[in-house]
Amino acid sequence: MKTIRLGTRPSALALWQANWTRDALTKLGVDVEIVKIVTSGDVNRAAAIANLGAQGVFTKEIQRALLNGEIDVAAHSLKDLPVEKIPGLKLAAVPAREDPRDVFVSNRFASLDELPQGAKIGTSSMRRKSMLLQYGAKRFPDAEGDAWDVRDIRGNVETRLKKLDDGEFDALVLASAGLKRLGFESRIRRFLEKPDFLPAVGQGALGLETREDDLETVETLEKISDSAAMLSVLAERALLAELQGGCLVPIGAQGALFPTDGEIEILSLDAQILSFDGKRSFQTTSIQIFDPSKYPSELPFETKKELAEILGRGCAQMLMEQGAADLVEEIRRVRDERNEKLRKRPAQN
């Protein structure tokens, strides 16, 4: 078997994921070479992610190297990977998923419910910001303006924690997965739970992408894939695609596969979309039942994947039917206007 060239961002968390993948493949007798690729998101670490413009700021360069044959596998944090399909590329594997939830981190307060009005909260996510604004409004219904001062924060996990320790923020909201993988689990004060908080699509999951025609690598990667994680993220990503949203849009989703006493499995999907200011939101839950008795032979996994994506698209339609259509259009308009301004900015300098 050939040596697999594994492309990854150079951040500590990305390298953790790449090293995990290398170790898993090495156990199968596969040689792996890690190739570090700097992305546009890595270069510009000062600006808020929402101000970097088009999607894929953490993935485009790696995918380009994959298409050009410079690497054989691209390792992505799935929450950063745009849902638009790129001809010639395939999401071949999703290993077992880490805890997808967001967490509350603070040196002074034990939970969001202890935060006083006006507290400064740092987050890099528009989704988290919208959810925090909504939750703060519930906590302080008589507040004039936003109950909390929710601010953008960039940098790797260590940088964000240092800003907290230096007193720039009263609290942070981060992904549980990143803290656990980098050895900062002790900093977690409280897990943020549904229905008020849903994670980003694909959060906590690692996506391994390769070329569709590289059948040998596809077959190898499938050996370290986790079926429950794959089905869950496919449902989440189909929801996001149907809403034409991206990582900059306030959409939360969490899929989960549950076995039953028999051979039937149930895939559930919780989903939520919010306005940027958190004042409007729509939420729904739907399920897909995998019942082998309805098929002449064992239910093919490819069929399960198709049904998972149908679940995601159906969940998106349920949100739209609840009244989210106008909100979706507003979010798209704001996003497109912001991207157009960013596109024109270099020409003005």
pLDDT > 70: percent of the chain: 91
With beta carbons less than 8 A apart as the criterion, state whether 163 and 153 touch.
Answer: yes
Both structure tokens of 113: 């419910």
As annotated, the residues of the chain forming the CATH 3.40.190.10 domain(s) are 1-96+205-225, 102-191
Share of the chain above pLDDT 90, in %: 76
The answer on pLDDT for 196 being more than 70 is yes
Annotated catalytic residue 23: no
Q: How confident is the model at residue 102 (pLDDT cuts 50, 70, 90)?
A: very high
**Does 43 score more than 70 pLDDT?**
no
Class of CATH domain 227-349? alpha beta
Q: Say which of 23, 31, 42, 80 is annotated catalytic.
A: 80
CATH superfamily of 1-96+205-225: Periplasmic binding protein-like II (3.40.190.10)
* Nearest-10 Cα torsion for 218, 205, 86, 213: 0
pLDDT at 59: 86
What is the crossing angle of helices 12-26 and 157-165, to 10°? Answer: 140
Q: What's the first-to-final CA gap in the chain, in angstroms?
A: 51
Which of 129-138, 163-172, 340-349 is predicted least confidently?
340-349
Average pLDDT along the chain:
90
Q: Give the helix/strand (H/E) hosting 252.
A: strand 251-259
Contact 52, 44 (CB under 8 A): yes
Please check the confidence at residue 206 and state whether its pLDDT lies above 90: yes
Contact (Cβ atoms closer than 8 angstroms) between residue 131 and residue 276: no
Task: Give, in words, the CATH class of 102-191.
Answer: alpha beta
Using the predicted structure, report yes or no on whether residue 347 has a pLDDT greater than 70: no
Q: Of all helices (H) and strands (E), which one includes residue 289?
A: strand 281-290
Rg (CA), the chain: 20
Residue 51's pLDDT band, with cuts at 50, 70 and 90, is: very low
> According to CATH, where is 3.30.160.40 located in the chain?
227-349
Does the predicted TM-score (pTM) go above 0.85? Answer: yes
Q: Which of 10-19, 152-161, 200-209, 238-247 has the lowest mean pLDDT?
A: 238-247
